[in-house]
Structure 1
Amino acid sequence: MRTQVVSTLLRARPSTVSRVTPRLVRLSSNGQHQETFESFTERYVNFFQSAEDLFEVQRGLNNCFAHDLVPAPAVVESALRASRRVNDYATAVRIFEGIKAKVENKTQYQAYLEELKPVREELGIDTKDDLFSL
């Protein structure tokens, strides 16, 4: 029984899933170029690291969340750091709302929260649920 629970949790962890399955993310307009999940992740991590203002951060989040996938924790961490760098706490909180809407179930959302807990604590970011329970 315990083995089943652990294996279920491991399968639900977003970072584990993203490393195991090299999914194709995007086709160009001519239908030939395909982007892997790893290159998608790298592209958005780099984008958020270089974002200099709130408009760029929010534009990047809109583009990132428009794809039919849940961004890897590395992308979320980079976006959180960018939103705090441009001094917009509300966007940082909304990132978690976006993740909650994109995942398939509560277990996956909890896996994201658990994996990003050190970053949340470092940056002082609460989730919407945390804010309303105070």
Structure 2
Amino acid sequence: MLRAAVCRINNVARTSILDTASRIPAVVVNRNMSKHSTETDAEFDARYEAYFNRADIDGWEARKAMTDLSGMDLVPEPKIIIAALKACRRLNDFALAVRFLETVKDKCGAKEKEIYPYLLQEIRPTLNELGISTPEELGYDKPELALVNVYDQ
């Protein structure tokens, strides 16, 4: 009995919604599902570089921008990476800098052998200036407690 009453109320509500939707002008019902960006690559780079170069950036904002960058289908330009590393230095967050470098390496994907050495070459002076080690220099590229595979011997 209760199920029948709920179904009846649902049907009445659905028909009343459909009746009011037919009276709404088409302009209001139309929804744009995509936003076409007109931002060029240079403007994108300048926006993120300026964001990381802000003097009042805090740890949450730096992490948010790094997370946004890691979610995009791109490898950040060296100037963005340098600005992010300098922001990490201003925040005195060495771990965030190393994690960001790990993320950049991961973003290189299948072309890691080509792209990552180029990026390291471009950001090396900044790494030396700030005293930041790469994940490879810290040994983070190899598993810490991995067992030797007996079948490889």
Match of 1:110 in 2: 117
Identify which of 97, 104, 117 aligns with 1:99.
104
Q: CA deviation at 1:64?
A: 1.6
How many residue pairs were aligned? 106
The answer for unaligned runs of 5 or more in structure 1 is 1-27
User: Is 1:33 matched with 2:37?
Assistant: yes
- If the length of structure 2 is used for normalisation, what is the TM-score? 0.64
| Residue deviations 1:6-54 (CA, integer Å, cap 9, x gap) | xxxxxxxxxxxxxxxxxxxxxx964333222111100100111115211
1 or 2 for the larger relative contact order (CA 8 Å, sep ≥6)?
Answer: 1
Structure 1's 89 and 115: CA in aligned 2 closer, same or farther, altered over 3 A?
A: same
What is the aligned-residue RMSD (CA, Å)?
A: 1.8
Q: Residues 31-110 of structure 1 correspond to what in structure 2 (within 5 A)?
A: 31-50=35-54, 52-103=57-108, 104-110=111-117
Q: Does 1:128 align with 2:132?
A: no
Question: Where does structure 1 differ by over 4 angstroms across 4 or more consecutive aligned residues?
Answer: none
Question: What's the secondary structure of 2:87's corresponding residue?
Answer: helix
Which segment drifts farther, 51-60 or 31-40? 31-40
Mark the CA change 1:130 to 1:46 in structure 2 (over 3 Å): closer, same or farther.
same
Distance in 2 between residues matched to 1:32 and 1:108, nearest whole Å: 28
The aligned runs of 1:9-20 (5 Å cut-off) are none
Question: Unpaired runs of 5+ in structure 2?
Answer: 1-31, 141-153
Structure (1 or 2) with the greater strand fraction = 1
Question: Take 1:57 and 1:29, find their aligned partners in 2: how far apart are those partners?
Answer: 29
Does the CA contact (< 8 Å) of 1:44 and 1:64 recur in 2?
no
- Counterpart of 1:125 in 2: which secondary structure? coil
